[in-house]
Amino acid sequence: MEFSHQFVQQLINGVSLGSIYALIALGYTMIYGIIKLINFAHGDIYMVGAYIGFFAVTRAGLSIVPALLISMVVTGLLGMLVERLAYKPLRHAPRISVLITAIGVSFFLEYATMYFVTPTPRTFPEVMPSIAFNVGPFIINGQQMLIMGITLVLMLVLTYIVQKTKLGKAMRAASFDVETAQLMGINADRVISFTFCIGSALAAAAGVLVGVYYNSIDPLMGIMPGLKAFVAAVLGGIGILPGAVAGGIILGVIEALVSGFISSTFRDAAAFAILILVLLFKPSGLFGKNTREKV
Amino acid sequence: MGTMLKINDINVFYGAIHAIKGASLEVNEGEIVTLIGANGAGKSTILRTISGLLKPKGGSIQFEGKDIAGMPAHEIVKCGISQVPEGRRIFAEMTVLENLELGAFTRKDKDGVKDDMEMVFNRFPRLKERISQLAGTLSGGEQQMLAMGRALMSRPRLLLLDEPSMGLAPLLIREIFAIIQDINKAGTTVLLVEQNANMALSIAHRAYVLETGRITLSGDARELAASEDVRKAYLGG
C-alpha cells in the first residue's frame, strides 16, 4: 500500500515535470523536422521565455495567463529573429556549420541575458495561491494542475494548427520534402520562420511554467532542460510530434521515479542513460519508422 | 499558337560541375514537347531550372513573355507552371486528399479548386477510391497518378513531367501516356522528359535530344523517331 501510494504520487510529479520537457521537446523536433538542425539554442530560448514572463509579472504586474501569452508572443518573435539572422544565411551550408552556429547562439543568449539581467537567480513571485487538491490519497498541487492544464491546451492548439490549417499542412509537407513543397507553391522560408516561431513560443510557455513551479530562474537555467528535452525528442523519434510529447512525459516519469525510489542524485544520470540506450537499440526512437521508398 | 516557354542559352552548374552547357529550347502553346536523352544528360536539370529549384548562370527563361529565370520556385507555380517530379515525390505521410489540396496551395478560388478536384477524380477514378488513404500506401502506378493529379490542381498552363514511366509496368506506362495526351487535348501544354524515348516520341509533337548538357538534335517527333541516329542511340536499333 505504502509503495503503490508513493508510486502514484511520483507518477503525478513525473507527468507534470514531463509536460515541461514535452513542451520544449516539441520545438526541438519541429525545427529538426523542417531544417534537420538540432537547435542547441532551444534551451536558452526557454530561459528567455522565463525571464520575459518574470518581467511581465513583476514589472507589468500581470497575472499568470496574460504573462504567459506575452512571453510566448515575444519569444516566438525572438525565435524568428534568431532563425533569420543566424540560420537562414546558412541554408545551403553543411549541417555541421549550422550546428556550431546553434551552439554559438546558445552562448550568445546565455551571456547576453547575464549582461542585461545579471547572473543572480531571480525569485519568481507567487502568481497563484498555493493550493493542493486531494484526489483520494494523492496530492496534486495548484502549480502541477496549471502545468498539466496549460500543456494540454497548448498541445490541442498545436495539433489543430498542424493538422487542420493550411499553414500546418505546408509545415508537414515541407518537413517531409522541402523541395517538393516548393513545387506546390509553398514558400519554404516562410514555413521555416513560422516553425521557429511556434517552437519558441512553446519553449517560452515551458519557461514561465517552470518559473512558477520552482520559483527560481537564472540565465543558465536552460542548459539542463534543453539537453533533457533533446533526449525526450530522440526518445520519441526526432521529427515526430507525438513522439516528442510521449518522450517528454516518459522521461519526466522516469526521473520522478528515480528520485523517489533511488536517489535524486541519479536523476540526470537516468535521463542520459536513456539517451544512450535509445541510440544503441532504437536510434529512430519509439515512434520512429523505417522509411522505405516505392519505385 | 504562340511560344509559351522560351529557354535561351542557359548554363546550369552543380557546384563545379557544368551540367547544362548553353541549352536553348522552345515550347509552343498546345504542344507536347519531349526532351529525351541518356541517363545523366541533364534532362531533369532543365526541368528543375524551369521550376526555379536551380538558378541558371546566364541565358534567359521566358514564360508567356515574362522572364522567370532566378525566380523562387514557389513564385513560378503561381505563374502557371507545375511539375511532376522524378520519382513522383508524393507526400507519403499525408492522405491522398491532403496531397491534392497541397497541389492547390497557391489558389484562393475555393469553387474552382473543388471543380478541379472533381476533374482529377474523373481522370483518375482510383484516387477517389483511396481519398483518405495515406499516399505512401498506394501502388507505384497510383502514386504516379497522384503526383500528376496534384500537379494539375494548381491549374497549370504548362505541365512539366519528369520520367512518368519510371518503374512502371508496360501496361501502366501506356495508360499514363494516354492520360498525358488527354490532359494535353484538354488544353494543357506539356514538356515531357523521358528515358523511354519510344513512348515519348510516339505522343509528342516535337522533340529535343540532350547529350551531356547540350541539345544535339531537335525537330518533329515523328521525323526524329525515324532518323537513323536517334534510333541507334535511344531506340535500341
* CB-based contact A180 B77, cutoff 8 Å: no
Establish if A185 touches chain B: CB-CB under 8 angstroms.
yes
What is the per-residue burial (b if ≥16 Cβ within 10 Å, else e) of B152-181? bbbbbbbbbbbbbbbebeeebbeebbebbe
Is residue A288's pLDDT more than 90?
A: no
Q: H or E stretch including A130?
A: none
Per the document, the length of chain A is 295
Is residue A293's pLDDT more than 50?
A: no
Chain A residues within an 8 Å CB radius of B93: 172, 176
Q: What is the pLDDT of residue B236?
A: 67
pLDDT band at A2 (very low <50, low <70, confident <90, very high): confident
Q: What is the pLDDT of residue A163?
A: 94
Residue A185: which of B78, B138, B166 has the nearest Cβ?
A: B78
Q: H or E stretch including A55?
A: helix A42-58
Least confident span in A271-275, A291-295, B127-131: A291-295
Distance CA A129, CA A133 (A): 12
Q: What is the pLDDT of residue B99?
A: 97
Query: How many cross-chain Cβ pairs, A to B, lie less than 8 Å apart?
Result: 70
Q: What is the pLDDT of residue A292?
A: 47
CA distance A172 to chain B (A): 8
- Report, as ranges of residue numbers, the positions in chain B whose pLDDT lies below 70: 1, 236-237
* CB-based contact A170 B102, cutoff 8 Å: yes
Which of 34-53 (B) contact A at CB < 8 A? 51-53
Residue B73: which of A166, A169, A183 has the nearest Cβ?
A: A183
pLDDT, mean of residues A77-106: 95
Neighbours of A114 (CB within 10 A): 14
Establish if A180 touches chain B: CB-CB under 8 angstroms.
yes
* Virtual torsion, Cα B76, B101, A239, A68, nearest 10 deg: 100
Neighbours of B24 (CB within 10 A): 14
Distance CA A240, CA A287 (A): 7
Residue B91: which of A176, A182, A188 has the nearest Cβ?
A: A176
* Cα separation of the two ends of chain A: 58
Give bridge partners of residue B27 from the DSSP assignment. Answer: B5
* Residues sharing a CB contact under 8 Å with residue A33, sequence separation 6 or more, in sequence order: A175, A195, A238, A239, A240
Nearest CA in chain A to B135: A294
Establish if A170 touches chain B: CB-CB under 8 angstroms.
yes
Establish if B74 touches chain A: CB-CB under 8 angstroms.
yes
Is residue A295's pLDDT more than 60?
A: no
Chain B residues within an 8 Å CB radius of A169: 94, 98, 101-102
Residue A187: which of B51, B74, B140 has the nearest Cβ?
A: B74
Give bridge partners of residue B193 from the DSSP assignment. Answer: B35, B162
Chain A residues within an 8 Å CB radius of B78: 185
* Virtual torsion, Cα B56, B58, B59, B64, nearest 10 deg: 60
Residue whose grid cell is 539572422: A85
* CB-based contact A294 B98, cutoff 8 Å: no
Establish if A289 touches chain B: CB-CB under 8 angstroms.
no
pLDDT, mean of residues A89-115: 95
Is residue A38's pLDDT more than 50?
A: yes
pLDDT tens-place string over residues A181-194: 999 999 999 999 99
Single out the residue of A50, A23, A24 nearest to residue A218, CA to CA.
Answer: A50
pLDDT, mean of residues A119-141: 84
pLDDT, mean of residues A206-234: 95
* CB-based contact A186 B102, cutoff 8 Å: yes
Q: What is the pLDDT of residue A1?
A: 55
Q: What is the pLDDT of residue A294?
A: 43
Neighbours of A122 (CB within 10 A): 18
Q: What is the pLDDT of residue A290?
A: 55
Establish if A163 touches chain B: CB-CB under 8 angstroms.
no
Give A16 or B1, the one with higher predicted confidence: A16
Residue B85: which of A173, A183, A294 has the nearest Cβ?
A: A183
Burial classification of residue B148, based on how many CB atoms lie within 10 Å of its CB (0-12 exposed, 13-18 middle, 19 or more buried): buried
Residue A180: which of B89, B139, B167 has the nearest Cβ?
A: B89
DSSP state of A37: -
* CB-based contact A170 B74, cutoff 8 Å: no
Nearest CA in chain A to B74: A185
Which of 128-147 (B) contact A at CB < 8 A? 136, 138-140, 143
Give A139 or B62, the one with higher predicted confidence: B62
Neighbours of A169 (CB within 10 A): 23
Q: How far is CA A34 from CA A20, A171, A217, A246, in A?
A: 22, 8, 30, 20
Residue B64: what residue type? E
